[in-house]
Structure 1
Amino acid sequence: MWYPGHMAKASKQISKLIKLVDVVIELLDARAPLASRSYSKAPFRAKKRLIFLGKSDIADAKTTELWERHFQASNEEVFVFDKDTDRRKVINFLAKHTDRGSLLIVVGVPNVGKSTLINKLKGKRSAQVGATPGITRSLQWFSVEGLFRVLDTPGLLLPELWSVELGAKLLLIGSLSVEMVDEKVMQRAYQIYARIANLEERDLNAFLEKYALEKRMLSKGGVPDLDRARVNFFNWIAQGKFGRISFETPQEVDQDKGDSVSSAQS
């Protein structure tokens, strides 16, 4: 399993710093909230947590509403946001649920939208934003209008993701890239997407041949470049370029207690 050194180092640093923190901002991808909880929550269990459902603009709106109610039913405070959410609404939500001078920490898997949230809180585009998992490499404190201080962190993941289902969902939301997973995970990710998008072709490689031809991704001799097509296809899904899609619902998760949920909640 891909687990870079900076992620392991950050996990150790967070474990040491967490005793100073008052509130944990759990940033989840609205398209797969439980799958995007795939990091160790042991250090945060004793802390107040606020759930932020990010990237809601590329998630299915009705499914996001179901997730919002799902978390609220467990007495968890939820805020739904995307890149266009007004900065003042974000700050007001945090101010409502924290004491003045509180120390907050933002945690989440790679590419879940932490830089977008951080930029909103800072009020300027000072954090690098990109679709590459692991783009934030160090821990950084900053103050928000004198109301509270926030600790930015790199993307976190469990050191070992043993579930194909979980790995597939993390690939679909861009927390893992094609280079980080094996063929079984890619096939399962495609099956999930194909079912939701009502695609007739159920085999990934057969689909990629057609996709490469359609996008003119060809090798010498006009042969479909499957590697290029594979990377492009999953990147486009992760970036929401095929429309607003959610990859798990509360009902589906309730029916599957032994796979992605158990992994994501470890």
Structure 2
Amino acid sequence: MKRPKLRKASKRLSCAKRYKIQKKVREHNKKLRKEAKKKGVSKRVKKDPGVPSSAPFKEEVLREAEQRRLQIEEEKEKKRQAKKEERAQKRKKEVASKETEPEAKKARQVIDASDVVIEVLDARDPLGYRCPQLEEAVLQRDGNKKLLLVLNKIDLVPKENVEKWIRCLQREFPVVAFKASVQIQDKTVQAKKRRIVASNEVLDRSRGAACFGNTGLTELLMSFAAKRQNEASLRVGVVGFPNVGKSSLINSMKGILACNAGVKRGITKCMQEVHISKTVKLIDSPGVVASPSNPPASLVLRSLQVEEGQESVLEAVRTLLKQCDKAQIMLQYNVPDFRNSLEFLTMFAKKRGFLQKGGVPNTEQAAVTFLADWTGAKLSYHCKIPEKHSLPAYLSDITVAEMQKGWDLNNLTTGNEETLKGTVD
């Protein structure tokens, strides 16, 4: 009932109405209890009487009961963990399939759109960074596509080792020695610093800023483009595993920051065209994804497909330390002599301040940082050349001769010699 001088009717109940509702609820509950009593159903839980004090072997019985209870809880926990791991693996497979399918598709698109395919290899382990499936796909494409191998990061490998790898790989494809610059800057930043350089007449020739091999590679591509009868620009696709320096190579040849580059995997998300000259056009592509069937350490070394905290990170560091020079590691990180990888990571974590609660060294964070340094070309490491060389199953002598046609091999050899001389000097 709406009372006068009030905009809205009151929602309060009268006492008589409220008491009437409470009475009906009590009657309804009483009726339910009577029906349950007739059916023999009782909600009361019988209390466990326990073991009487007068019972013999009471302590043993209680101990056995407690063990059974703990065993049941452990079985339940194992089942929960198994289901949790199963769901995590399922999500991981779904994410991996979503990531690998587009990247593999983009790699195929780059191959289809290119006249020449450059496979960038890390000079520290050229065979480990080759992708046979990719090379076979290039050879099987129509249009007489050419494949060119580029050995990047040659400043981290002894000159003799690079020369041997060039002679070994040239038996299959033309090889270019290269050292990309990792300090290419944006046009605006470069323009601001140009006045400072001109006034002080100081040129940055540091290890990171210097670039070797870009002139020889550009001239090689331009001479190949000039021999073609096609008037269109030569489209050159740059492919390879993540962190081998594909984007850095393009930036070094262009002379400006044309493509984003960094240590983190997956910075390049899509195809990007960069004009080097009127006749040559480079195509940047996402990194080739390694097969999940490879060992965990191999995945870390090749493509950094690893999450922090996983055991594969520690395995990869253990593998790297076996290959690297211990003296160089000690000088690089200013740590004393160590017996194994765990001891090194412990000292490295203390040195960098990677500590957990209670001052415990965080070896996993130290391992991730060490892998980032290795990928970012801070550590020297090189593999030996195989003693016996044999052509892969997808290559033949006719195919090798076809891949060598059209290139100015004499200028290529001269350019590699000048590049190696420059990196040593």
Q: Distance in 1 between matches of 2:101 and 2:388?
A: 28
1:69 matched to 2:197: no
- Rate the CA distance shift 1:185–1:251 in 2: closer, same or farther, 3 A: farther
Q: 1:157 maps to what in 2?
A: 289
- Work out which of the residue numbers 199, 216, 224 in structure 2 matches 1:89: 216
**Contact 1:7/1:154 (8 A) holds in 2:** no
Q: Which amino acid aligns with 2:345?
A: L
Deviation at 1:37, TM superposition (A): 1.8
Deviation at 1:86, TM superposition (A): 5.5
**Contact 1:39/1:108 (8 A) holds in 2:** no
- Work out which of the residue numbers 134, 138, 145 in structure 2 matches 1:44: 138
Q: 1:79 maps to what in 2?
A: 176
Deviation at 1:17, TM superposition (A): 5.5
- Rate the CA distance shift 1:93–1:190 in 2: closer, same or farther, 3 A: farther
**Contact 1:87/1:121 (8 A) holds in 2:** yes
1:60 matched to 2:130: no
Q: Distance in 1 between matches of 2:107 and 2:323?
A: 39
1:193 matched to 2:325: no
Q: Which amino acid aligns with 2:149?
A: I
Q: Distance in 1 between matches of 2:374 and 2:113?
A: 38
Q: 1:224 maps to what in 2?
A: 361
Q: Which amino acid aligns with 2:221?
A: L
- Rate the CA distance shift 1:137–1:5 in 2: closer, same or farther, 3 A: farther
- Rate the CA distance shift 1:129–1:21 in 2: closer, same or farther, 3 A: closer
- Rate the CA distance shift 1:97–1:68 in 2: closer, same or farther, 3 A: farther
- Rate the CA distance shift 1:131–1:20 in 2: closer, same or farther, 3 A: closer
Return 5+ residue gaps in structure 2 as ranges: 1-92, 182-210, 328-336, 393-425
- Work out which of the residue numbers 81, 90, 111 in structure 2 matches 1:18: 111
Q: Which of 1 and 2 has higher RCO (CA within 8 Å, sep 6+)?
A: 1
Question: Scaled by the length of structure 2, what TM-score is found?
Answer: 0.52
**Contact 1:178/1:231 (8 A) holds in 2:** no
Moved more, 74-83 or 60-69: 60-69
Q: 2:341 maps to what in 1?
A: 204
**Contact 2:110/2:285 (8 A) holds in 1:** no
Q: Which amino acid aligns with 1:59?
A: V
Q: 2:61 maps to what in 1?
A: none
Deviation at 1:36, TM superposition (A): 1.3
Q: Distance in 2 between matches of 1:116 and 1:34?
A: 21
Q: Distance in 2 between matches of 1:60 and 1:165?
A: 25
**Contact 2:297/2:315 (8 A) holds in 1:** no
Pairwise CA RMSD: 3.1
Q: Which amino acid aligns with 1:114?
A: K
Q: Which amino acid aligns with 1:76?
A: F
Q: 1:145 maps to what in 2?
A: 277
Q: Distance in 2 between matches of 1:93 and 1:132?
A: 31
Deviation at 1:181, TM superposition (A): 9.1
Correspondence list, 1:102-251, <5 A: 102-164=234-296, 166-167=298-299, 169-170=301-302, 175-176=303-304, 178-179=306-307, 182-184=310-312, 186-198=314-326, 201=338, 203-242=340-379, 244-246=380-382, 248-251=383-386
The number of residues matched between the two structures is 249
**Contact 1:23/1:105 (8 A) holds in 2:** yes
More helix by share: 2
- Rate the CA distance shift 1:249–1:5 in 2: closer, same or farther, 3 A: farther
**Contact 1:187/1:204 (8 A) holds in 2:** no
**Secondary structure in 1 matching 2:318:** helix
**Secondary structure in 2 matching 1:187:** helix
**Secondary structure in 2 matching 1:12:** helix
- Rate the CA distance shift 1:250–1:189 in 2: closer, same or farther, 3 A: farther
Greater radius of gyration (CA): 2
**Contact 2:177/2:213 (8 A) holds in 1:** no
Q: Distance in 1 between matches of 2:297 and 2:367?
A: 18
Q: Distance in 1 between matches of 2:388 and 2:361?
A: 37
Question: Scaled by the length of structure 1, what TM-score is found?
Answer: 0.79
Return 5+ residue gaps in structure 1 as ranges: 258-266
Deviation at 1:16, TM superposition (A): 4.6
Deviations 1:90-124 (A, max 9, x none): 31122234445322111011111011111123332
More strand by share: 1
- Work out which of the residue numbers 123, 126, 129 in structure 2 matches 1:33: 126
Deviation at 1:50, TM superposition (A): 0.6
